[in-house]
Structure formats: C-alpha cells, structure tokens
Amino acid sequence: MLRLFGAFLSPMGAQAGTVTEGVIAIEGGRIAAVLPGAPPAAADMPAAGTVVPGFIDLQINGAYGHDFMNAPESVVEVARRLPETGVTGFLPTIVAAPAARYAPWLAAITEAGRAARGACVLGLHLEGPFLNVEKKATNRPELLRAPDLDALREMLNDFVRIMTLAPELPGALDLVAELRRRGIVAAAGHSMATYDEAMAAFAAGVNYGTHLGNAMRGLHHRELGLFGALLASAVPVGVIVDGIHLHPELVRLAYRLKGAAGITLVTDTIAAFGMPPGHYALGTRTVEVDETTARVAVDGGYNLAGAVLSMDAAVRNMMAFTGCSLAEAVTMASATPARVLGLARKGQIAPGFDADLTVLDADGGVVMTLAGGEVVYQRAAGTEQRE
C-alpha cells in the first residue's frame, strides 16, 4: 500500500474539475481509496503539485531519436522515458509501410511493447496503408493501397487498437465493419471524404477522426468535408496542439464545438522529439527538424511530418489557446483517449482505477509520474524547465 498525499484533480463525476487535498491510497497497481481531507500524517509520500490522471497519447511515431517503424524494439526505451512528459499509456504508430514489413513489424513491436516498463504500451495505431493518395502528406504514394479485406485480415493482430483509413475509398466501409467487429477503433484520416461521405462513414462505424484538420479536405463553406463533419458530429477527434498544425483560433473553435469529451490531445511526435534539430527518420522518409517543426520535402514543396510535441506541452497549449481549465485539458489528455480505447479503468482518479498518475507543478511541468502504482519518473530537484 502506497499513500500519496496532495492536491488531486477529479476530472469527471460529481466533483468534476475540482482540486481537493487528501490521500490517494494505492494497492496492487490500482487506486484503492481516495480520501479527501485525510491528514498527511496518514500518508507515505507527498505529491509536490497537483495529481492528475496520467496522459494517454493515441498517436506517436517515435521519440528520443527512435522511430518505431525502423526500430520496433525501441518502444522499450521510449516507454521508459515518456513518463518524463506525464504519459502513462500510448499507442506506437506507423505510417504506411511496405506490405511485407507489417507482419514482422507487428510481431516485433507487440513482443517489445508487452515487455516494456514505464508508460504502458496500450496497443498499436496503424496509420495506413489504406489512405487517399491526394492527402498522403509524408506517406510514400507507392505504399498507399486500395482497401482490401484480405490484406487487412492478414495485417492485423490483437494488439492493434486503432487503424486510420480514408473512408471514401471504394471498399473502405467493409474494412470499417471488420475493424469494429474486432473491437478496433476505425479512424478516418488522410482523406478527401466529402461531408456526405464522412457522415455515411460515421453511420457505418467510423468512430474517431485522426488529427482534425490535418491531411483532410479543407473546410469549404459549401463542402465541409470530413473536417466539417467531424466538427459537426459527436465523433471524437485527435488534435495536434503545437500551434503549427492548427491555428490556435481553430483549436479554440474546435474545443467550443466538441468539448473536452470530444477531443483527444495527441502529439503525433516523431523520433526528433527530445533531440536537437537535425535530420531524422519517419518510416522511409527523412525529416528536417528545427526547434518547433518537422518537415519533409514532397512534390517540390514541404509537408509537415508529424510533430515535436510532448503531451504536457499539449496540455499547457490547450489551456493557453482555449482558456479551458486544467481539469478540461487533462480530460482531453486522459479520460477522453481512455474512453476512445474503451479502457474502463483509466483516465480518472477514483477507486478501482489503475494508479496511473501524473503530478504537475503550478506551471504545468511534470514533477512525478506513477504508472500502475510505481513511480516511473521523478524530476530531479532544481531542474524545473519549460520547453
């Protein structure tokens, strides 16, 4: 039994949004009890900040110099370090890969992911290969494929939790049905879907939108596209809140329309995260990275190639861009992604939930992170830093 004393956040339920002092009792990796007002004398350990549910990132391609497609075993090292950013659970993600690479990649990253310690590898996100070539972004066009049910069945294993596809492609909705039948989130993205096509896809089972606004048909006043359909519907979306992928005012607008229950903060981070500017791999591409932006040369121009963003920075940016509360921003980083994945024991500080907890200082910096009740990160004294 570990008893953590401090101010803690209730992101949902009757005390939604309130910060309460008390003791969180942890046993067997779970929260055994939440005791508001319990005296610190009853605790083993102080939390020097506000305790919030650990962050869950549904889209991350790599970090700290490692690219998951090129080095699936590196998921162990990334899982060890991501708690520095408040992350306690994540989905390693790959963009479109050559057909022959899926099976060995899935086998390798599933084995490594299940053995990883630190942040929990909650499964995998396959972003492709059934994407629209017109919205390929950094994907190599020759690696994008027409929807094919047999190819999908060959590709999937039981560790895949999300697949992003372009729902307007012929046959894509058959894949959506197969994904949902297996309990996998069917995400729309890298898509030229019209509003009508998008709404039909939602009706057919598409239950997530991948990086709202990025790599989808632009928002036209007479053709809202997938972008407008996601804004207008209750389908939850991933949003990259780095101030580059979306204008801050669009983030604010999306938040006003969808609320904290409709948005998951994602980083879409690549190998360059946590590294100096330079050149890094993203799958089969080489990406140029400066302090804020990752770009790849495509068709004579440049496309954004993922991000160099941390979840704790995304939480701070969300509050700065929208004026939302810490509770709302944290909901978008924990409870909502947990709900998208159907994880009933993650995303809240409540009895019976996994003891995945992040302690934030007054500036939103990560002080300490616990995953499954174990301290997996503790900031060294005197090293407070902001990006």
Positions marked catalytic: 268
Asked if 251 and 263 touch (Cβ cutoff 8 Å), the reply is no
Q: How far apart are CA 269 and CA 60, in angstroms?
A: 5
- Residue 195's Cα: distance from chain center in Å? 25
Torsion angle, alpha carbons of 79, 81, 87, 92, to 10: -40
What angle in degrees, to the nearest 10, is found between the helix axes of 225-232 and 195-203?
50
* Residue of 99, 101, 158, 96 whose CA lies nearest to 127: 96
DSSP 248: H
Residue 2, SS3 per DSSP:
strand
Tokens found for residue 88: 């306690």
Radius of gyration of the chain (CA): 20
Q: How far apart are CA 280 and CA 66, in angstroms?
A: 9
Residue type for 179, please? Answer: L
CB atoms within 10 A of CB 193: 27
* Cβ neighbours for 95, distance < 8 A, ≥ 6 positions apart: 61, 69, 127, 128, 138, 139, 282, 283
Phi then psi dihedrals of residue 164, to 5 deg: -95, 130
- Residue 356's Cα: distance from chain center in Å? 16
Expressed in angstroms, the distance from the first to the final Cα of the chain is 35
Asked if 379 and 366 touch (Cβ cutoff 8 Å), the reply is yes
Torsion angle, alpha carbons of 14, 20, 26, 30, to 10: 30
CB atoms within 10 A of CB 169: 21
Q: How far apart are CA 255 and CA 262, in angstroms?
A: 8
Q: How far apart are CA 349 and CA 30, in angstroms?
A: 10
